[in-house]
Structure 1
Amino acid sequence: MQLKLKLWFICLMWTVVGIRNVLTGALRDHIITNGYPATVGEVPYIVGLLVREGNLARWCGGSIIHNNWVLTAAHCTDHVTSVTVYYGATRRTQALFNVMVNSGHIIQHPDWPASIGNDIALIRTPHVGFWGMVQKIELPGLSERSNSYEQFTVKTCGWGSTYDDSPLPEWLQCVDLAIISNEQCSRSYGELPDSVLCVDTPQGRSICDGDSGGPLVTKENHKLVGITSFSDAESCKSAAPAGFARITSHLEWIKNVSGVSY
């Protein structure tokens, strides 16, 4: 099947029809489809990102991996002039505090956008202290690079659409899903690189517009295994799988840039 990936103001050489980038327009901050509301402090590692490109702004998510580092999707940071990082928010507009960094603090994967599997970027931030409402999420260990995590139950959260083109929400939503094989995922999207990780989306439970860059975390041992990247172009409630950048494919790059490893 031919695929397509909709990105903000860029045209990828990777032309495929059927995939939609989960980022759409200026200040389109919506919620995960058919998820459940997070409790206050349930997801202390998630951050909201207000990404600015000149006078335009858009909303993404990210994950705290160190006092000075946040992980997000590369497509969230294309052509940006600044990013404001919102910490400790459950209600999107009521973060505990925020910091703003310019484009010089953003490091995209060097092979983005040549491959959808490299949809990952690091944001260097001022030092942030950790406590109950603001905390890092651990990465898999370097020894786990070969782990596919197939059939693992995972949780992803964000302030993305509850349905296609839904109005603006406020409250953080989460959804529990299961990781599937890339072979199964490729039945919907065509051949995918190993650096993509996919989840099943039963009963329309999935990521949607505005969830880009958010975390995918294992329920069992709470490791960050994916960064929200794409979903079906036809509808957020499609039965097609949702796609994430696979963290284990990028552990060496993350270590080399940030020094963070396990």
Structure 2
Amino acid sequence: MKAFIAILALAVASASGATMPRLATEKLTPVHTKDMQGRITNGYPAEEGKAPYTVGLGFSGGWWCGGSIIAHDWVLTAEHCIGDADSVTVYFGATWRTNAQFTHWVGNGNFIKHSSADIALIRIPHVDFWHMVNKVELPSYNDRYNDYNEWWAVACGWGGTYDGSPLPDYLQCVDLQIIHNSECSGYYGSVGDNILCVRTPDGKSTCGGDSGGPLVTHDGTKLVGVTNFGSVAGCQSGAPAGFQRVTYHLDWIRDHTGIAYY
């Protein structure tokens, strides 16, 4: 089994006028399926059908990630989740991780990895939508410059309950507040425009195994983030959690899938 932990290439140089401690960042670790018994830290159990757009991704190399249905035939996830996998089993409509409404096997010929950002697409067989399996909408082009500062959003996944936890299979969600990149830079140094960060008070955060999963706004239920990284100090450290900013990648998504909202 390939160990699959990577350091996110973010600068950690001092930011002008920042007062927060500088912390290194780490991509959230895809979790090996045989060890996967976990959840978002300090979240709450998702009732059946709460996040029908959330899928589980069991990769052939033995690791586990999350993803989001964005169309009848497309899932959005993190590039570091795909790695060098030959295939993935997509779990649809699962509240209990391994008890999906149905699954599809997808070969790596259907993987599209971004060349310079931690985001990726998986082409899936056509799936019909209903209350347990449905898409989440992307932001419109009118919102491409919205930084969503101070907006509330929900992240869902099957990642670790705490740092180093024996990873329940039950889908967990957590409500988190988006912050301006200047606040995030106070922890990590300068972060790129492609990054979106959230506060993680009281140990509420994404963690290992949540990689690739969704961050969806409470207001308008739009997919604004793809789970990427946390602090090497740990998921419960209070440092911001990082996501790929979906509005930054709307052109890339449109070019590969045809999905666009104007």
After superposition, residues 122-201 of structure 1 pair within 5 angstroms as 122-201=121-200
* Paired letter, 1:109: H
CA distance in 2, matches of 1:34, 1:176: 10
State, as a whole percentage, how many aligned pairs show the same letter. 52
Q: In the alignment, does 2:50 pair up with 1:42?
A: yes
Aligned to 1:115: none
Q: Which amino acid aligns with 1:32?
A: I
Hey, what does 1:69 align to over in structure 2? 74
SS at match of 2:57: strand
Alignment deviations for residues 166-191 of structure 1 (CA, whole Å, 9 cap, x no partner): 11321000000100011000111111
Q: Deviations over 1:32-52 (max 9, x none)?
A: 000000000111000000012
Q: Cα 1:245–1:171, aligned 2, differ >3 Å: closer, same or farther?
A: same
Distance 1:217 1:165, change over 3 A: same
User: Do residues 253 (structure 1) and 252 (structure 2) align?
Assistant: yes
Partner SS state of residue 193, structure 1? coil
CA contact (8 A) 2:211 2:227 kept: yes
List per-residue Cα deviations over 1:182-232 (Å, max 9, x = no partner): 100011111110100000001110000100000000001100000000011
Give a deviation string over 1:141-163, Cα, whole Å, max 9, x none.
Answer: 01111000000000000000111
Residue 11 of structure 1, CA deviation: 6.9
Q: How many residues align?
A: 247
1:1-262, aligned counterparts within 5 Å? Answer: 8=4, 18-27=24-33, 28-29=35-36, 30-53=38-61, 57-111=62-116, 118-262=117-261
Q: TM-score, normalised by structure 1?
A: 0.91
State the SS of the aligned residue for 1:104.
helix
- Alpha-carbon separation, structure 1, partners of 2:159 and 2:123: 24
SS at match of 2:32: coil
Structure 2, unaligned runs of 5 or more: 13-22
Q: CA RMSD in A?
A: 1.6
Amino acid at match of 1:37: P
DSSP-derived class of the 1:250 partner: helix
Bigger mean CA deviation after superposition, 25-34 or 175-184: 25-34
149 and 202 in structure 1: CA distance in 2 versus 1, 3 angstrom threshold: same
